[in-house]
Amino acid sequence: MRIDLHAHSNASDGTDSPAELVAAAVAAGLDVVALTDHDTVAGHAEAAGAVHALPEGTRLTLVPGAELSCVVGGVSMHLLAYLFDPEEPEFARERELVRNDRFRRGEAIVERCRALGADITWEQVRRIAGAGSVGRPHIASALVEAGVVATVSDAFTDEWLANGGRADVRKHETDPLEAVRLVRAAGGVPVFAHPGAVKRGRTVPEQVIADLAAAGLGGLEVDHTDHDEETRAHLRGLAGELGLLVTGSSDYHGGRKVVRLGEHTTHPEVYEALLAQASGAKPIGK
């Protein structure tokens, strides 16, 4: 079983459509893939349709999910949420609040980039993002188009879009304790995404992770490209102490990141334990 519990489509800042992501998951030999777009479930229906349309004999299970933008003590963090009821109104409202603020913030970031001499426009960013939940990777793509930086990654520096960078503007983000509560209330399972991704900026203190665990956090995403071996070993120990599941996933973004689908995976027993905690939605299988 090859299980990848974190992937983005063009419903947020990935480059594959949800149907293309399903095809890519099959091509990568995955048995299970989770669609976890930033603050949106807009890709779920298309991805589910693509799974249902797979030829006989091709088995793939889609886990509907999302990746929520959170902030605690001024530190941004991402919370993966699996198998929640997408219609549950309180959680749906919070996702909408974050998505809407991404527009205000995206336009403000474009203004800063322009003031810093980058010839990009908000129209261009809207074209790149299409119907997707607008984020810095779309602005990074605009900076690549304008020849300001060579790659999307190169735009995530203090000079441009990194957390606290010259052109960075904050968006509304949810308190993670509240987010954990919202996900659980919608029948979902919350997992802390890349908790040790130091290259993205400051990370959340362990006391906060312990508080989140006490509040209902289900797991830590340990095996992730942004974690070195030492960080993984440490997080594995912490998960053990706190009684949290340990997941692994690619955080695939199509062409916007170099990571491949299935580059990191989750153990089948962990996946089963995660399913056992979920009551808001069911995995979608062929």
Contact residues: ligand AMP, CB under 6 A: 13, 38, 69, 135-137, 152-153, 156, 199-200, 253
Query: Considering beta carbons, is residue 224 or 253 the nearer one to ligand AMP?
Result: 253
| Partner whose footprint covers residue 136, from ligand AMP, Fe ion, Zn ion, none (CB < 5 to 8 Å by kind) | ligand AMP
Q: CB 37 → Zn ion: shortest distance, Å?
A: 8
For strands 32-38 and 3-7, give the pairing: parallel
Q: Which is nearer to Fe ion, 4 or 67 (CB)?
A: 67
Task: Give contact residues for Zn ion (rule: CB under 5 A).
Answer: 13
Smallest gap from Cβ 162 to Fe ion, in A, equals 14
Using CB under 5 A, count the residues that bind Fe ion: 4
CB of 260 to ligand AMP, least distance (A): 15
In the complex, which residue's CB is closest to Fe ion? 78
Min CB(171)–ligand AMP separation in Å? 6
What is each CA distance from 224 to 24, 111, 151, 259, 262, in whole angstroms?
19, 33, 21, 10, 11
Q: For ligand AMP, give the closer residue by CB, 95 or 136.
A: 136
The residue assigned the tokens 């949420």 is 81
83 or 193, CB closer to Fe ion? 193
**Contact of residue 193 among Zn ion, ligand AMP, Fe ion, none (CB under 5-8 Å per partner type):** Fe ion
Report how far residue 46's alpha carbon sits from residue 44's, in angstroms, rounded to the nearest whole number.
Answer: 6
Q: Minimal CB distance to ligand AMP: which residue?
A: 135
List the single partner that 61 binds among Zn ion, ligand AMP, Fe ion, none, CB under 5 to 8 Å by kind.
Answer: none
How far apart CA 152 and CA 155 sit, in angstroms, is 5
Q: CA separation (Å) from 77 to 51, 73, 84, 116, 193?
A: 30, 10, 19, 27, 8
Say if residues 113 and 125 touch (Cβ distance below 8 Å).
Answer: no
Among Zn ion, ligand AMP, Fe ion, none, partner that 37 touches (CB below 5 to 8 angstroms by kind): none
The entry of ligand AMP, Zn ion, Fe ion, none that residue 153 binds, CB within 5 to 8 Å by partner kind: ligand AMP
Taking the least distance from each CB to ligand AMP, the nearer of 64 and 132 is 132
Which of 206, 185, 23, 157 lies closest to 90, judged by CA?
185
Look up residue 225 and give its two tokens: 């490209």
255 DSSP 8-state letter = G
Neighbours of 29 (CB within 10 A): 10
Question: Among residue numbers 195 through 224, which ones bind Fe ion (CB under 5 A)?
Answer: none
CB closer to ligand AMP out of 172 and 236: 172
DSSP string computed for 171-205:
---B-HHHHHHHHHHTT-EEEE-STT-GGGS----
Member of 44, 78, 105, 257 binding Fe ion (CB under 5 A):
78
224 binds, among ligand AMP, Zn ion, Fe ion, none (CB under 5 to 8 A by kind): none
Exposed / middle / buried, residue 115 (Cβ in 10 Å: 0-12, 13-18, 19+): exposed
In the complex, the smallest distance separating the C-beta of residue 214 from ligand AMP, rounded to whole angstroms, is 26
CA dihedral of 82, 88, 90, 92, whole degrees rounded to 10: 60
